[in-house]
Structure 1
Amino acid sequence: MGDGNGRFRSGMARLAYGNPLYALMLGGKAPGALAVVPPDPWPGDTDSGNAILAGRMRFAGQEIAVDPAGAPNWRPQGATSGWLRTAHGFEWLRDLRAVGGDMARRRARVLVWSWLDQNGGWHAQSWAPDVLGVRLASWIGLHDFYCASADDEFRARVFESMARQLRHLLRVAPAKLDGERLIGAVKGLLYGGYCLPDQDKAAREALRLLDRELPRQILPDGGHVERNPSIQMRVLRDLIDMRAVLRVAREEVPESLQHAIDRMTPALRFFRHVDGGLALFNGGQEEDQALIDTVLAQADARGRPLKSAPHTGFERLIAGRTLVLLDTGAPPPAGLDRAAHAGTLSMEVSVNKERLIVNCGSHPSQRGPWRAALAGTSAHSTMVVADTNSSEVLDKGGLGRRPSHVGCERQESDGAVLVVATHNGYSKGFGLLHRRRVYLADNGEDLRGEDTLEPVIGATPQPQPYAIRFHLHPQVEVVPIQGSEQVLLRLPSGNSWRMRVTGAALEVAESVYLGSGDEPRRTRQIMMQGQCGPEGITVKWALRRERKAA
């Protein structure tokens, strides 16, 4: 039924927007220059910029070769939706700017000009309101790089197109968007409304939508409702950009916007490991440290990282040189779970600047076989019952069945921390509750845990296989210890941690890590396996730092 509705809506949109009459309606006086020029402090990636110059357009994990001198096809055969979204959003202009020089500037102009040739009128993909919003903000924000010194004809075409795109965006926003994608559309409205002359209506609508969305999307602890550290960073960056536009336009910054930035900044710090990258929850990646530093600096908000994010559903345990991050919240609601993973009660651990226990990460495409594999519970450092995901991972993104209750309690005493969390994602199919206790001693050198499967009250569960997985960072070396339920984990610095397990069989197996980029790296995982009877089971594990070389 949903698919039929979607096809009907897209058919109606083609009828409404894809005809010559609608194109005429978008016409009007074209501006000749920007009313205000917003700053763009964000670093680009010179490697990506050089690849674009060489005719390799690699977006969302897919590389498509184009003529490095000519105009690309903007809807190439076989392009994924992720590639198309990124290509048509034009944020990669920053990568060409990072390369710098005349050649990069000329290439940017050729690409913009060819886009105008092929996408002058409405198209379902390239004019989707969220993609259009990102493109408008990119074209306006990077105007000085590719447009300011161009000839009159180029400038006239760009400004005429921006005015048309803004008029369309104003007609359709907020569309059926939610979460980060709606923020992207609002950002385009706000950039167009304040930076293009005489667009007060778009400016007012942007502020109205922002005022409506911020309380819905930014939770009281500052976490973003999609529960993805990468999205946390990107939305915060969008809000910083919008604040910058209002400041250069000499407009008052709404209190709700300033408060959202002030709250989101400590929450972004919350998700950082000591190596400077982000934790891998719900489709997030490590991200570029220089970019995270720039976002935090531009936010200009003082707050220290939180210990606990109860509304977003995460806990941070820190003692000595050890950091533990735990996912202790319910998955994001339907419609906001596009990138969400079935990783409830998963854990990441780092020591100093070295990651020890990780989740497997995500592929930039967020679709297809990589999505199914990496969003599954087995790709997370948590417990799985009968090879079944704790939340159902849907092929097209999002989650189906999911835990209806995730509970968490935290206790602190003399520098030591204990977190106890439970979820009922296995209650319907199996009549079991998963409870995880994690204790970090005050010196940070003793991390202990207990994973329990308990029968739901009134249920008599059938025997089920279970596995607890701790995925290791690729730089961690595993040294088996003969004849015992123990392994030694050696970090690149030479630090070693001894892991002991009781109540389950211990095994070391292959795993993959996709913490950054789109190339999987081989790594290992520790598996604790067994059978859970009708009365439930308890598995205890302990990680202790070795004081002397093994």
Structure 2
Amino acid sequence: NWINRFGRGQGPGWTPALTGRRLIRWINHALFMLRGTEAEQSDVFYRSLEQQTRFLSKRWRASAPGLPRFEALTGLIYAGLSLEGLEELADPAIKALARECASQIDAEGGLPTRNPEELLAVFTLLTWAAAALSDAGRSTPKEHLTAIERIAPTLRSLRHADGALARFHGGGRGMEGWLDHALAAAKVKTRQPDGLAMGYARLSAGRTSVIVDAAPPPGGSASSNAHASTLAFELTSGRRPLVVNCGSGASFGLEWRRAGRATPSHSALSLVGYSSARLAEPDRHTGEEALIHGPRHVPVEIGEAADGLRFEGGHDAYLRSHGLTHARRLELTSDGRGLSGED
């Protein structure tokens, strides 16, 4: 099994993020996993949990900011609260998670990566950690609770009519029911006020949802999975996605991943296959390819049309290369049965 092959702290699985993720699963399913096992096997299991917890307590800072660090810290909190003799490891992790919430979750409940599925994963981890703290009779830091309260309405804005997430910036639809289950577990009922949610505009009427990427793409280290998708949109009617982006091609290899990040892989305007942003040279240490030379100015206006809702937006990504700006108008009828648009 994994403990015998890799349990000494070397080999696959010994990154802070993956260790945190594994600790959460092992602790949650410990009773099932240990059912019918001998005492000796049970001891091996718990010794491995302790070893992984101590590894995390020393290495969580090596995880990248964002989802990997949220995974590492949540796993450390779970283990510190659940395993006897490791309680002293929980308090530093609780404080560190609160700091991450304050630095990574903005006032609108978004992440720097603008990846909807990643935001859902972070939201799930935060609700799990808050529940674990409550079960242990511990208070949850204000920054932690505030992050949950900010993220929930943003996720509602990124939810299509079929319950799936919008597919942008490396994120997928999410597992069936995951989004609704996470929102129900958080018990946060507020909705996003009118305007953008993590840089996305939403038009919704009847059983139809339209979600538009209405902001510049992420920059810097947050852009390693970003897509050249400015002003791209997705349309879902009832249970049927009608207009979608291709999503991440990472599971098919590097070339497909690059292709998936290009503008032609989105419901957006490209000029003779030219994307609205470019991929930088791979980082010599990580191999990641940042997104560069994207649009700088993305004006947006959302309002009412004669028979429904209107989105108007533009960007200047093609100004340097072609001397052109792109403007897009979308109008959704009040019954949700008609969408018209113009580029």
TM-score in same-fold range (> 0.5) = yes
- For 1:172 and 1:321, the matched residues in 2 are separated by 47
CA 1:307–1:357 in structure 2 vs 1: closer, same or farther (change >3 Å)?
Answer: farther
Residues 232-381 of structure 1: matches in 2 within 5 Å? 232-304=119-191, 307-310=194-197, 312-363=198-249, 365=251, 367-381=253-267
In structure 2, what is the Cα distance between the partners aligned to 1:420 and 1:426?
Answer: 18
Q: 1:381 is matched by which residue type in structure 2?
A: S
1:218 to 98, 105, 112: 105
Counterpart of 1:118?
5
Aligned-partner Cα distance in 1 for 2:331–2:43: 63
Q: For residues 428 and 115 of structure 1, do their structure 2 counterparts lie closer, same or farther at Cα, with a shift above 3 Å needed?
A: same
- 1:425 maps to 2:311: no
Give the aligned partner of residue 439 of structure 1: 331
Does the CA contact (< 8 Å) of 2:80 and 2:86 recur in 1? yes
Task: Check whether the contact 2:161–2:207 (CA below 8 A) recurs between aligned residues.
Answer: no
Match of 1:450 in 2: 342
* Secondary structure of 2:309's aligned partner: strand
Structure 1 gaps, min length 5 = 1-113, 452-550
Query: 1:183 is matched with which residue: 70, 84, 88?
Result: 70
Structure 1 residues 35-50: aligned runs within 5 Å: none
Contact preservation (8 Å) 2:250, 2:257:
no
1:238 to partner: Cα distance: 0.7
Q: Is the 8 A contact 1:307 1:317 kept in 2?
A: no
Cα distance 1:200–1:405, how it changes in 2: closer, same or farther (>3 A)? farther
- Within 1, Cα distance between the matches of 2:42 and 2:195? 50
Map residues 57-136 of structure 1 onto 2, 5 A cutoff.
114-123=1-10, 125-136=12-23
1:399 aligned onto 2:290 = yes
Bigger proportion of residues as helix: 2
- More off after superposition, 436-445 vs 290-299: 436-445
* Cα distance in 2 for residues equivalent to 1:176 and 1:321: 41
Distance 1:432 1:414, change over 3 A: closer
AA aligned to 2:77 is L
The answer to whether the Cα contact below 8 Å between 1:307 and 1:315 also exists between their aligned partners in 2 is: no
Q: Deviations over 1:102-126 (max 9, x none)?
A: xxxxxxxxxxxx2111212233642
Instruction: Look up the SS of the partner of 1:247 in the other structure.
Output: helix
Q: Where does residue 416 of structure 1 map in the other structure?
A: 308
- CA distance 1:414–1:250, shift in 2 (3 Å): farther
Q: 1:415 to 1:209 in 2, by over 3 A?
A: farther
| 198 and 404 in structure 1: CA distance in 2 versus 1, 3 angstrom threshold | farther
* Structure 2 unaligned blocks of 5 or more: none
State the shift of 1:223 in Å: 2.7
Give 1:367 shift: 4.4
1 CA distance for matches of 2:326 and 2:288? 25
Residues 434 and 413 of structure 1, relative CA distance in 2, 3 Å threshold:
closer
Which structure features the higher share of strand residues?
Answer: 1
Shift of residue 393, structure 1, vs aligned partner = 3.4
Distance in 2 (CA, whole Å) between partners of 1:274 and 1:305 is 16
Contact 2:314 / 2:327 at 8 angstroms: preserved in 1? yes
- Give the Å deviation of 1:330: 1.7
- Letter of the 2:106 partner, please give it: L
Identity of aligned residues (%): 33
When residues 438 and 166 of structure 1 are mapped into structure 2, their CA distance, relative to the original with a 3 A threshold, is: same
AA aligned opposite 1:355: P
Tell me which amino acid in the other structure corresponds to 1:399: A
Mark the structure with the bigger radius of gyration.
1
Establish whether residue 204 from structure 1 lines up as the match of residue 87 from structure 2.
Answer: no
User: Residues 354 and 126 from structure 1, CA distance in 2 versus in 1: closer, same or farther, beyond 3 angstroms?
Assistant: closer
Aligned-partner SS, 2:221: coil
Aligned equivalent of 1:150: 37
Which moves more between the two structures, 326-335 or 297-306? 297-306
The SS at the match of 1:308 is: coil
Q: Which moved more, 1:271-280 or 1:439-448?
A: 439-448
**Distance in 2 of aligned mates of 1:290 and 1:259:** 24
Cross-structure match for 1:390: 276
Question: Partner of 1:118: helix, strand, or coil?
Answer: helix
Given candidates 153, 156, 164, the residue that maps to 2:51 is: 164
TM-score normalised to structure 1 length: 0.57
The alpha-carbon deviation at position 221 of structure 1 amounts to 2.0
C-alpha distance in 2, partners of 1:414/1:151? 71
The answer to which structure, 1 or 2, has the higher relative contact order (CA under 8 A, 6+ apart) is: 2
The structural deviation recorded for 1:183 is 0.6
Paired AA for residue 336 in structure 2: G
Tell me the amino acid that sits aligned with residue 278 of structure 2. E
Give the Cα–Cα distance (whole angstroms) in 1 for the partners of residues 315 and 11 of structure 2.
Answer: 40
Deviations, residues 364-404 of structure 1 (Å, cap 9, x unaligned): 62741220121211010001123222122356444331223
Q: How far apart, CA to CA, are the structure 1 residues paired with 2:304 and 2:38? A: 65
Match of 2:24 among 127, 137, 141: 137
Change in CA separation of 1:189 and 1:415 when aligned onto 2, cut-off 3 Å: farther
Deviation at 1:175, TM superposition (A): 1.1
Which whole-Å CA distance do the structure 2 matches of 1:120 and 1:443 have between them? 58
Q: Output the CA distance in 1 between the equivalents of 2:136 and 2:255.
A: 46
In 2, Cα distance between equivalents of 1:162 and 1:366: 34
Q: Which amino acid aligns with 1:221?
A: E
Change (3 A) 1:176 1:135: closer
Measure, in 2, the Cα distance between the counterparts of 1:447 and 1:291.
28
RMSD, aligned CA: 2.3
Contact 1:340/1:398, CA 8 A, preserved across alignment: no
Change (3 A) 1:256 1:143: same
Alpha-carbon distance change, 215 to 412 in structure 1, aligned in 2, over 3 angstroms: farther
